[in-house]
Amino acid sequence: MSSLVRDRLGGFAFGADYNPEQWSESVWDEDMALMKAAGVTMVSVGIFGWAAVEAEPGSYDFGWLDRVMDRLSANGIGACLATMTASPPPWLAHRHPETLPRRADGTVLSPGSRQHYCPSSPVYREHAARLVEAVATRYADHPALALWHINNEYGCHVPECFCDVSASAFRSWLGVRYGDVDALNDAWSTTFWSQRYAALDEVLPPRAAPSFLNPAQVLDYKRFSSDALLECYLMEKEILRRVTPDVPVTTNFVGAWHRIDVAKWAPHLDVVSYDSYPDPHEPDTVIQAAFMYDRMRALHGKPWLLLEQAPSAVNWRTHNAPKAPGEMRLWSYQAVARGADAVMYFQWRQSRGGAERFHSAMVPHGGPITRAYTETAALGAELGRLDAVLGSTVDAPVALVSDWSSGWAVQGSALPSADLGQEETDFAHYRPLWTARVAVDVVSPSVDLSRYRLVVVPNLYAVDVAVAERLVEYVRAGGHLVMSFFSGIVDSAERVHLGGYPGPFRDLLGFGVDEFWPLPPGGAVALGSGGVGTHWSEWITPAGAEVLDRFADGELAGRPAITRHAFGDGVATYLATRPDEATMAAVLDRALAEAGVAAVLPDLPAGVEAVERRGSGGRWLFLLNHNKHAVTVRLPEGSEGAEGAAGAVDVLTGDVLGAEVELAGRGVVVARMG
């Protein structure tokens, strides 16, 4: 199995963000010794180092970083070297206040925190490019250089800037997208409310306005903003490629889905990286984390890097819970099970001052005699036993379709209901699949769906006919599809598909929707099956679809709530409401069974996750016990060492496993299945 991480580091990427510029050099030798003892193989260096290398414009001092890089290579530790462009030094804003970003209401975001730059600012870009060139040239041949870390969490704090520079860049972007103002007027439906533009020069960002903004303008601004950040990334990548053609590049994506369109970005990364911060206070936290890992893996269909996670507590929620003993290890293996070839933390040494002084670190304020250091170092020692897993991936039979643009659109304003959060909707459909222990890829609708047995479409509100047609063809060719309400309603410019809802999916689903009947906040409607629907209901007129469940009270009593339609060689199931969890699970279980999708491992105790990674080098079954109590798990037939069958070995302990495996509370077994 080819593995980028093995090629660059010889084993798992294990380490942390390393910010040595926050400490005197006398601490650095201790850092190296502790890193070696903890099994660290790679650190991300210099992410916020801009001010420390360029104290004045154009005058670089890389002395401290040279000494850090030399120490790293002397200790056999790779550098995921940052391009340092994530947080400009105060002098940039002081000399060029026009580089500061603006909110929609005109508020200028000041220096004093981080990410205070307008992505479209030519001044920011010029200074960033000069810095990247200097960093790349300086370290091109340094033996510690393993990977380039471009910027940091693009769009995390400032996904959109509304300043005049951005306005002008937006107009150029619109010129490329639409060609001329007539096409823009048409796409944006500007005859409405007298919004017609005489020239592209008149167009502004969707700034604070008296009432609802033009939805197409708002949506295009999100696309433009993601593209503006992507241009910054590509500008840096081009420099790095020219100077170091053989060094892979990445940038770390961040949890909240709505900032940049990662599906559009992913082709430009050599390896996908993700920062994961599950909240220990949140009951569903591991399922939410699994969803994001399945999204990250599916971007390339290859291993990805867990580039940041907290060793214990973060400091940026209102209430910051530490990870309980065993949780950090368990959750790290969860990422590995779902395709991560790296386990990295934020950060190495806990800051003494600054806004993150109460964020956990591998080396806390109390030094190495602490739980965080002991537990992370123990994991570092253990991960080496999993080197054979590097490069393998998860073969998912189910796809969950989640489209960025559509998600942005459905969270806009002036819709039938304000309760249509894409993240929450996706998760409501993902949760039962996680519980059913089937492997899922979270994908955009434009990927090749033919390899999946079941495709789940929680909500695809904004979709062009050509893309919708791919889903229709998928079912016609024998695929199984589950779709939920308010899909196929508008095109990518938010113009309604005429001729009856849900325009391009009517034939596929075998009905028409006459009217939407969204429920009031917290409202519920009874279903004939005994369950309840929430969020939404709608007036369906069947035209061939079989009715699986009906609304049982209210104005729609007796009308279809859940339908099934045999279409071509496949089947399309539809949910006209958000059913309660048990009903949702029953609908998905039925679709899984019809599609011939089985659990990775059946009959597991509640709270036990089972994921299989496979590659040319073998198959590994990860069993993760999220319970505090011990559980017993039956391994698949034939995996035990009897009767000539290949014995499953727990890679972490070397033990040959029998038919039944005992998993300690928060325990992990990685069974090599031959």
Footprint on this chain of ligand GAL (rule: CB under 6 A): 152-153, 156, 254, 275, 277, 308, 310, 314, 346, 356, 359
SS3 634: strand
d(CA 325, CA 664): 13
Burial label for 239, CB within 10 Å (0-12, 13-18, 19+), is: buried
Asked whether 400 and 588 are in contact (CB, 8 A), the reply is no
Instruction: Kindly give the residue spans of alpha helices, DSSP state H, lying in 477-618.
Output: 506-509, 581-595
Contact 136, 118 (CB under 8 A): no
Q: Which residue has the tokens 């080819």?
A: 2
Dig out the tokens for 389 from the structure: 């897993």
E-assigned strand segments in 584-655:
608-615, 618-625, 631-634, 649-650
User: β-strand 398-401 against 454-457: which pairing, if any?
Assistant: parallel
Q: Whose Cβ is closer to ligand GAL: residue 354's or residue 500's?
A: 354
Peptide bond into 502 cis (omega under 30): yes
Closer residue to ligand GAL in complex, CB, 311/518: 311
Task: Note whether 273 and 422 are within 8 A (CB).
Answer: no
Structure tokens at 286: 């591991």
Residues 6 or more apart whose Cβ sits within 8 Å of residue 648:
621, 635, 639, 640, 641, 656, 657, 671, 672, 673, 674
Cβ neighbours of residue 451 closer than 8 Å, sequence gap 6 or more: none
Nearer to ligand GAL, 233 or 452 (CB): 233
Query: Among 275, 301, 308, which Cα is nearest to 392's?
Result: 301
Dist CA 638 CA 524 (whole Å): 47
Evaluate whether 17 touches 361 at the Cβ level (below 8 Å).
no
Closest CA to 341 of 290, 392, 394, 292: 392
Q: How far is the CB of 252 from ligand GAL (least distance, A)?
A: 6
Is residue 483 within 8 Å of residue 567, measured between CB atoms?
A: no
**What does the DSSP 8-state code read for residue 656?**
B
Angle of the 122-139 helix axis to the 63-74 helix axis, nearest 10: 40
Q: Where are the alpha helices (DSSP H) in 477-560?
A: 506-509
**Residues ≥6 apart with Cβ < 8 Å to 672:** 388, 618, 619, 620, 648, 649, 650, 651
Three-state SS for 308?
strand
Nearer to ligand GAL, 197 or 277 (CB): 277
Taking the C-alpha atoms of residue 147 and residue 252, their distance in angstroms, rounded to an integer, is 12
Separate counts of helices (H) and strands (E) for the chain: 18, 27
Catalytic residue among 160, 308, 609, 612: 308
* Rounded Cα distance, 117 and 110, in Å: 9
For residues 307 and 460, which CB has a smaller minimum distance to ligand GAL in the complex?
Answer: 307
In the complex, the smallest distance separating the C-beta of residue 394 from ligand GAL, rounded to whole angstroms, is 25
Enter the tokens of residue 156: 């995390």
Out of 54, 153, 236, 382, the active site residue is 153
- Dig out the tokens for 667 from the structure: 């325990």
> Is the separation of the CB atoms in 484 and 425 below 8 Å?
yes
**Distance of alpha carbon 297 from the chain centroid:** 9
Q: Which is nearer to ligand GAL, 6 or 295 (CB)?
A: 295
Q: Which is nearer to ligand GAL, 101 or 311 (CB)?
A: 311
- Least distance in angstroms from the C-beta of 620 to ligand GAL: 29
Catalytic (active site) residue 153: yes
Instruction: Establish whether 308 is a catalytic residue.
Output: yes
Start-to-end CA distance of the chain, whole Å, equals 15
**Catalytic residues, which ones?**
153, 308
